[in-house]
Structure 1
Amino acid sequence: MPEHSEVARIVHFIRKHLVGKTLSKVQAQHDDIVYGKVGTSAAEFQKAMQGKKVVGAGQQGKYFWITMSSPPHAVMHFGMAGWLKIKDADTYYYRTDKPADKEWPPKYWKFLLETSDEPKTEAAFVDPRRLSRIRLVDCPINEIREHTPLKENGPDPIADKDIVTESWLIEKLRSKRVPVKALLLDQANISGIGNWMGDEILYHAKIHPEQYSNTLSDDQIKELHTAMYYVFTTALDVLADSEKFPEHWLFKHRWGKGKKNQPSALPNGDKITFITVGGRTSAVVPAVQKKTGAVAKDIDQKENGASASKRKRAIKEESDSEAEPSQKAKGRAPKRKSAPAVKKEEPEDKKVDTTGIVRRRSTRSRN
């Protein structure tokens, strides 16, 4: 799933290739999930964008937007496997070879943009898994972040650096009792951190991902704050080009899981192990990331079932089909008691994908 730096990469390409140009042709294929789930239709999107000038682009965490010469504006996120392709431009990340975009329009497109200038620029939003979201927000440009879905998401460590301070982070972690990895992944707390960034941040902060957030010391949280900005800014400086990430980063050596004759280890020999935290596979370096406080498994042995159930509901799996933040806050009705019955199969459209992240990787081995 594209995380903060990958989304920043796309914002960079939008500014480079689309900003300042008029969209002479817009095509949108209706998708009752990608558009419909957030109350927009392909026809509405096409009408709102057609003939207008692109005046800007911005980002808050995993969300990004394209601002037009007049409202409404397009606000989007990529879900698990969405992306924005620009014809003849290498917008990809996690790879060094230029993508084969000879086929145009590309498969699984949701909208196509074409500019009026010569040579014209063509762009396509694609998503084979249909977990992305495309919506229109009708407001002045400078008020986009005051509307759903951005207003329900936490601050962006780069755009809101004055908010995400050490003292803010201390208060945030102390106010919750969840594994620190799960807290970092929850977009309602902090925008932009996904699975690999969360692991990278915790590795550099020397914090175990299972440890409860409210058991971390002030010094540990300060290290976490420092590591967060280090990972964010370093990845941003190279526009998420993983080939340019530092060689000692966990990211460069975590992909050997399950592969024969390719053990996961850092250049200094420290082994990388894999555990599940908050429903997500987490890469951990035991030699560095020590448990210094209570973790979920320790508490499970001491608490009764009711408390454990309440705690599990608090450990939210990050899913970038990403239910709207406003939905996350909804309570649950009490369960009704009934006689034992045969368990019914859950409808296919309500099942949650917990298999992990599908990401584009380099065709070369990351050794």
Structure 2
Amino acid sequence: MPELPEVHGYKVYIDSTCLHNTITSFVCRDTKLLKQPENDFKEHLIGKKLIGTQRIGKYLFVKTSGDKILVMHFGMTGRPNYYKDPEDRPKFGHIVLGFDNDFHFAFENKRKFGWWNLIDSIKDYKAEKGLSDDARELSLEEFKTSLENRKTHIKKVIMDQSVAAGVGNWMADEILYQAKIHPKKKVNDMTEVDIKNVFDAMKNVIEVAIKHDSHYSDFPDDFFIHIRKEGEPCHHTGAEIQKIKVGGRTTYFSPEWQMK
């Protein structure tokens, strides 16, 4: 699933391609991907321009020259695709905007878990969805405050979008590996040092992933992503990586490196 670094890349891509062109058409092959009636999208997008973007976690907000803001969520397999020749429309480009420069913007969505919405206010939407500030922008104090009175496993907590918007499954495993924290460690059992280590690891993982455009193979050699598979040897101890479930999510960790 696209997480914070991937969606950051999509933001950069959209910013550099399809902004400031007038939308001339809106085509949707599957209206289940739309949170509003299709005619609302046509009414509020056709004749307007996309003028800027803002990302909060895995949500991408695209401001328009009209009175609505377009929200994109990329689900499991979503990604943007900007192209010119109509014959180049990607196979899974289920939503397509046409522009007056004869280019097109396709929202690729193979597994159809992604969606579009139209909203009036990013601030109100953020509050409605209970989103924290973007994990890249969080301060240590904000992070610590979000963890107060939490008694569940740290893996589940840092994936909570009200705590650290944008952190998903692979990132959580990577963060806890870098911080040497067991994914089932209870937040109320963590020390101040533990919490800071998780925070620092989160910031580092985010910046490394963005720097390398989420190309995992380019991540530093000691990153968990390279061995995130049951039975693989830990970089630090050689012990086999184990797989468990935490909060219903498949979780990988190094048992001798990440002690409870």
**TM-score, with structure 2 as normaliser:** 0.91
Q: Is 2:74 the counterpart of 1:112? A: no
Cross-structure match for 1:318: none
Cross-structure match for 2:240: 271
- Ranges of 4+ aligned residues in structure 1 off by more than 6 Å: none
Cross-structure match for 1:75: 71
Q: Is the 8 A contact 1:29 1:42 kept in 2?
A: no
The number of residues matched between the two structures is 259
Could you tell me which runs of 5 or more consecutive residues in structure 2 were left unpaired when the two chains were aligned: none
Could you tell me which runs of 5 or more consecutive residues in structure 1 were left unpaired when the two chains were aligned: 89-100, 258-262, 292-367
Distance 2:221 2:103 in 1: 36
Distance 1:43 1:82 in 2: 23
Q: Is 2:15 the counterpart of 1:19? A: no
Residue 8 of structure 1: how far off its partner (Å): 0.5
Compared CA separation, residues 63 and 155, structure 1 to 2 (3 A): same
Distance 1:47 1:23 in 2: 11
Distance 1:51 1:62 in 2: 27
Cross-structure match for 2:176: 202
Deviations 1:114-166 (A, max 9, x none): 2222xx4322112233322211013xxxx4233257652122122xx3xx322
Q: Is 2:131 the counterpart of 1:153? A: yes
Residue 243 of structure 1: how far off its partner (Å): 2.7
> Which range moved further: 12-21 or 108-117?
108-117
Compared CA separation, residues 209 and 178, structure 1 to 2 (3 A): same
Larger Rg: 1
Q: Is 2:199 the counterpart of 1:225? A: yes
Deviations 1:30-67 (A, max 9, x none): 423x22xx3x0222112211121221111000100211
> Which range moved further: 187-196 or 105-114?
105-114
Compared CA separation, residues 29 and 45, structure 1 to 2 (3 A): farther
SS at match of 2:21: coil
Residue 18 of structure 1: how far off its partner (Å): 0.9
Q: Is 2:227 the counterpart of 1:253? A: yes
SS at match of 2:98: strand
Q: Is 2:100 the counterpart of 1:131? A: no
Cross-structure match for 1:28: 28
Distance 1:239 1:47 in 2: 35
After TM superposition, list the pairs within 5 Å mapping 1:317-356 onto structure 2: none
Cross-structure match for 1:84: 80
Compared CA separation, residues 239 and 145, structure 1 to 2 (3 A): farther
Deviations 1:261-282 (A, max 9, x none): xx42245534321111110111
Amino acid at match of 1:156: D
Residue 80 of structure 1: how far off its partner (Å): 1.9
Q: Is the 8 A contact 2:244 2:251 kept in 1?
A: yes
Judging by fraction of residues, say which structure has more strand.
Answer: 2
Residue 237 of structure 1: how far off its partner (Å): 1.9
Distance 1:41 1:22 in 2: 21
SS at match of 1:208: coil
Residue 228 of structure 1: how far off its partner (Å): 0.9
Distance 2:114 2:159 in 1: 17
Distance 1:14 1:149 in 2: 25
Which of 209, 234, 238 aligns to 2:208? It is 234
